[in-house]
C-alpha cells in the first residue's frame, strides 16, 4: 500500500512539473508571437514611409504625362507630337534631351520639360517635412518660361501690370501694389487670391502680419548661390512677408555665423547640411494660393516659405 501511495505521489509531482513546463512554454510562445507581430508592424510602417518618400523624391525614370502642358497652358501649348511640345505659333520644343542624368542635382543644372514634371507637387496640408531631393517645382526648363513670359527683362516688363494687394486690409498710406504678369492670366489669379486673402484676414485678423510688406514679385535675377534664373524673373511669383518666413540658405548662413550677403554656392552645401525644416505660415494662406495652382516653397526640402509661384503643370490632372 505504502509503495502504491509513494508511486502516486511521484506521478503527481511529475505531472505538476509537466504542467508548469507547459505553461512556461505557452507564455514564451505568446510573448514571441507578440514581439513578432510588433516587428512586422514596425517593418510595415518603415516600408510605407519609404514608399511615400520614394513617391516624392526624384526618380529619373518616372512616368510623367507631358500632355499636362497642353491642359495647364492652353494659351500657349496646343499639342504634344512625339518628343516635342507644339506651341501656338507652330514652333517645337524638345521634351526630353539626350543627356543621361541620374540625380536630382544634375537635373537642376540640366533641366528639360520631362524632368520638370518628375517630382509632383502634392496639394493639401503638409503631413511631414519634405524629404531629401523633394523640391517640387525647383527643376525649371528656363527656355519654356522665357518663351511664355519673356526672354529678356524688357520683354517680361511689357507684360507686367499692377495689382492692389489686399485692398480692404492695406489701404491709404499702407496700400501695396504688386507688379505681376498678365501672361496666363496670372494678374487675374493674383487679384482673386488677394480678394480671398482679404476675406481671410477679416475673419482672422492675426494673419495680417504674414501678408503685409510682401517680399516682392518681379525681379530679374539669378537664384542666390546658383547660375539658375529665379522664377521671380518672369513675374508669376510672389514672396509674402519675409519677416515671418523661413529660407533654408539664410538659416544655413545664420547657423554658420555668416552674414546673409555672404556668397555661397548652393552646390557646396550637401543635403545633410541643409537646416531642419521650419515654417510659420498658416495653412489657410497656402490653401488659397494652391486653389489657383500656385506652388508653395514651404513644400521644398530646400524650404522657402515666403515663396509662391504659378506652376499649373505640377498639379496632376485629377486635381485640376
CB of 237 to Zn ion, least distance (A): 6
Q: Are strands 237-241 and 307-310 parallel, antiparallel or unpaired?
A: antiparallel
CB of 228 to Zn ion, least distance (A): 13
The three cell numbers locating residue 274: 541643409
Q: Which residues touch 37 (CB under 8 Å, ≥6 apart)?
A: none
135 contacts Zn ion (rule: CB under 5 A): no
As a whole number of angstroms, the distance between CA 249 and CA 275 comes to 8
Task: Kindly report each contact of residues 81-86 with a partner whose C-beta sits within 8 Å and lies 24 or more positions away, as own/partner.
Answer: 85/113, 85/144
Q: Is 43 exposed, middle or buried (0-12, 13-18, 19+ CB in 10 A)?
A: exposed
Identify the three-state secondary structure at position 229.
strand
CB of 239 to Zn ion, least distance (A): 4
Pick the closer one to Zn ion by CB: 69 or 308. Answer: 308
Identify the three-state secondary structure at position 44.
helix
CB of 291 to Zn ion, least distance (A): 19
CB of 238 to Zn ion, least distance (A): 7
CB of 37 to Zn ion, least distance (A): 48
Contact segment (CB under 5 A) with Zn ion among 126-134, 192-200, 233-241, 262-270 equals 233-241
Residue nearest to Zn ion (CB): 307
Pick the closer one to Zn ion by CB: 87 or 303. Answer: 303
244 contacts Zn ion (rule: CB under 5 A): no
Q: 294-313: which residues touch Zn ion (CB under 5 A)? A: 307
Pick the closer one to Zn ion by CB: 84 or 220. Answer: 220
Pick the closer one to Zn ion by CB: 239 or 290. Answer: 239
Contact segment (CB under 5 A) with Zn ion among 131-139, 172-180, 190-198, 234-242 equals 234-242
As a whole number of angstroms, the distance between CA 91 and CA 67 comes to 16
Residue that the C-alpha cell 557646396 belongs to: 268
Residue that the C-alpha cell 511529475 belongs to: 14
Contact segment (CB under 5 A) with Zn ion among 24-32, 81-89, 194-202, 232-240 equals 232-240
- Please tell me the count of residues contacting Zn ion according to CB under 5 A: 2
Q: Which residues touch 264 (CB under 8 Å, ≥6 apart)?
A: 225, 249, 252, 253, 258
239 contacts Zn ion (rule: CB under 5 A): yes
The three cell numbers locating residue 150: 519673356
The three cell numbers locating residue 123: 496639394
Pick the closer one to Zn ion by CB: 69 or 165. Answer: 165
Contact segment (CB under 5 A) with Zn ion among 28-36, 47-55, 236-244, 280-288 equals 236-244
CB of 305 to Zn ion, least distance (A): 10
CB-CB contact of 249 with 305 (8 Å): no
User: Which residues are near Zn ion by CB under 5 A?
Assistant: 239, 307
Amino acid at each position: 500500500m505504502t509503495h502504491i501511495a509513494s508511486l502516486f505521489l511521484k506521478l503527481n509531482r511529475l505531472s505538476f512539473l509537466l504542467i508548469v513546463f507547459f505553461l512556461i512554454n505557452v507564455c514564451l510562445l505568446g510573448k514571441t508571437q507578440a514581439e513578432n507581430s510588433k516587428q512586422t508592424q514596425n517593418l510595415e510602417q518603415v516600408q510605407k514611409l519609404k514608399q511615400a518618400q520614394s513617391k516624392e523624391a526624384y526618380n529619373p525614370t518616372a512616368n510623367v504625362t507631358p500632355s499636362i502642358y497642353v491642359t495647364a497652358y492652353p494659351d500657349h501649348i496646343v499639342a504634344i507630337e512625339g518628343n516635342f511640345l507644339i506651341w501656338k505659333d507652330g514652333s517645337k520644343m524638345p521634351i526630353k534631351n539626350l543627356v543621361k542624368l541620374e540625380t536630382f542635382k544634375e537635373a537642376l543644372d540640366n533641366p528639360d520639360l520631362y524632368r520638370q514634371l518628375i517630382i509632383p507637387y502634392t496639394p493639401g496640408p503638409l503631413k511631414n517635412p519634405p524629404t531629401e531631393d523633394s523640391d517640387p517645382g525647383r527643376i525649371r526648363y528656363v527656355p519654356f518660361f522665357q518663351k511664355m513670359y519673356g526672354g529678356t527683362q524688357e520683354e517680361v516688363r511689357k507684360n507686367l501690370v499692377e495689382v492692389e494687394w489686399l485692398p480692404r486690409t492695406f489701404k491709404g498710406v499702407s496700400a501695396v501694389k504688386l507688379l505681376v504678369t498678365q501672361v496666363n492670366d496670372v494678374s487675374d489669379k493674383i487679384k482673386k487670391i488677394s480678394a480671398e486673402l482679404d476675406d481671410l484676414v477679416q475673419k482672422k485678423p492675426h494673419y495680417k502680419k504674414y501678408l503685409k510688406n510682401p517680399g516682392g514679385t518681379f525681379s530679374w535675377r539669378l537664384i542666390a548661390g546658383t547660375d539658375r534664373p529665379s522664377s521671380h524673373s518672369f513675374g508669376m511669383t510672389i514672396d509674402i512677408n519675409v519677416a515671418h518666413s523661413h529660407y533654408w540658405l539664410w538659416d544655413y548662413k545664420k547657423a554658420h555665423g555668416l552674414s546673409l550677403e555672404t556668397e555661397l554656392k548652393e552646390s557646396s552645401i550637401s543635403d545633410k547640411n541643409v537646416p531642419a525644416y521650419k515654417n510659420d505660415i498658416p495653412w489657410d494662406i497656402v490653401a488659397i494660393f494652391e486653389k489657383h495652382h500656385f506652388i508653395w516653397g514651404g513644400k521644398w526640402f530646400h524650404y522657402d516659405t515666403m515663396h509662391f509661384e504659378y506652376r499649373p503643370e505640377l498639379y496632376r490632372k485629377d486635381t485640376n
